[in-house]
Amino acid sequence: MPVLASHRKPRAKVRTTTPAVGLTTAALASVTLLSTQSATAAPAEPKPAVEEVRNKVDALYRQAGAATQEYNRAKAASASQRAKVDTLLSDVAKRTEQINEARRALGSYAAAQYRNGGIAPMATFLLAENPQGYFDQSRLMDRATERQQKAVDEVRKQQASAAKQRAEAVESLETLTETQATLASSKKDVQSKLTEARGLLSRLTAEEKARLAELEREKEAEAKEKAAAEEKAREEAAKESGGGSGPGSGTGTDPGTGSGAGSGYAAKAEKVLAFARAQIGKPYVWGASGPSSYDCSGLTQAAWREAGVDLPRTTWDQVKIGTRVATSDLRPGDLVFFYDDISHVGIYKGDGMMIHAPKPGANVREESIYSMPIHGSVRPA
């Protein structure tokens, strides 16, 4: 049988080049879009310059210093309030015992009255063996009644006093709770500022840290130059006025001569400075008041305690005591306060220099009083 030819039309060949071209075009478009987005994206923030880091860290240390003073104030208040609460609670306990004693006395009077049966006075008179015996017994009963009334009055008095003391104790406990909350908040604030400052410093390269140290040395040198210039101007002014060099100028070894400070202050100032010099090299630790570490007001408080003068704990309170003095009239032993918020203090030693506990990461040291903006100065005693 002959083979029949197929009547099917031949299948048309399909070109595959067009889809391939379309796919390649889409891929190129995607790459171009991504490249465009990368080019238009916000550039990464530039790394801050060392000067900016220093300024930021200094600002954080200042803020931490202010928070430290708030912490110190809250801590001192908490200790005082705790002592007051303990005293009040002890008084309430004693008062309660006194009330119990008065109640026992009342109980004995009530028992005696019960045993006597509460017989009417007329019946007692009629039943008495003789009238005189009745009157003697009546006087005794009157005195017993007076003692009973006094016992009642004493109970009422003790109850009123106990109620008052309990109210005071409750109020003091509430104040203590608020103070402790402030203490915790201030502590958290200090730690937050210091953590941020340490973070900034930790991101510096070795070269940047060297630059930062150089900036600190330049700042210290400028402050010393300013101190020297101020002291020279003071000496010249004193010579022109015919008064000679004052105790606040020169070497600072004669703090007691001249007007405004007697030998008593000179002796105290010597003790203060001797103590402060002995602390040089010990670390600054916020909230510390010795003996192994200090913050700024902890050092001044401890130093003046050696001279028999009790200073408050914070810079904000220390600046209010003693006599205010001008920078030009400073004498060794005076306290110099810094910044508008009065968050730092040092002990003046003469020649425009002071001894102070500077900041976290630094030790107690001598430094120019012109290294920071001066707020004012006081003479504590």
Q: Which amino acids are annotated catalytic?
A: 296, 344, 356
Q: Roughly what angle, to the nearest 10 degrees, separates helices 50-116 and 206-240?
A: 80
Residue 124 has a CB neighbour count (10 Å cut-off) of 15
Round to the nearest angstrom and report the end-to-end CA distance of the chain.
139
| Cross-sheet strand order for the sheet of 374-379 | 323-325, 374-379, 335-338, 344-350, 353-356, 365-368
Work out the number of other CB atoms within 10 angstroms of the CB of residue 379.
20
Q: Which of 174, 164, 184, 161 shows the shortest CA–CA distance to 81?
A: 174
Spatial distance between the Cα atoms of 259 and 248, rounded to a whole number of angstroms? 11
Residue-by-residue DSSP string for 95-146: HHHHHHHHHHHHHHHHHHHHHHTT--HHHHHHHSSSHHHHHHHHHHHHHHHH
The H or E element spanning position 232 is helix 206-240
Query: Nearest to residue 122, comparing CAs of 104, 110, 136, 138?
Result: 138
- Going through the chain in order, the beta strands assigned E by DSSP cover 323-325, 335-338, 344-350, 353-356, 365-368, 374-379
DSSP secondary structure letters along 48-65: PPHHHHHHHHHHHHHHHH
Contact 380, 321 (CB under 8 A): yes
At 10, list the tokens: 């031949």
Query: In the structure encoding, which two tokens stand for residue 227, read together?
Result: 């101190």
Whether the Cβ atoms of residue 278 and residue 269 lie closer than 8 Å to each other: no
- Would you say 352 and 369 are in contact if contact means Cβ atoms under 8 Å apart? yes
Closest CA to 309 of 335, 288, 344, 330: 335
The DSSP-derived string for 191-209 is HHHHHHHHHHHHTS-HHHH
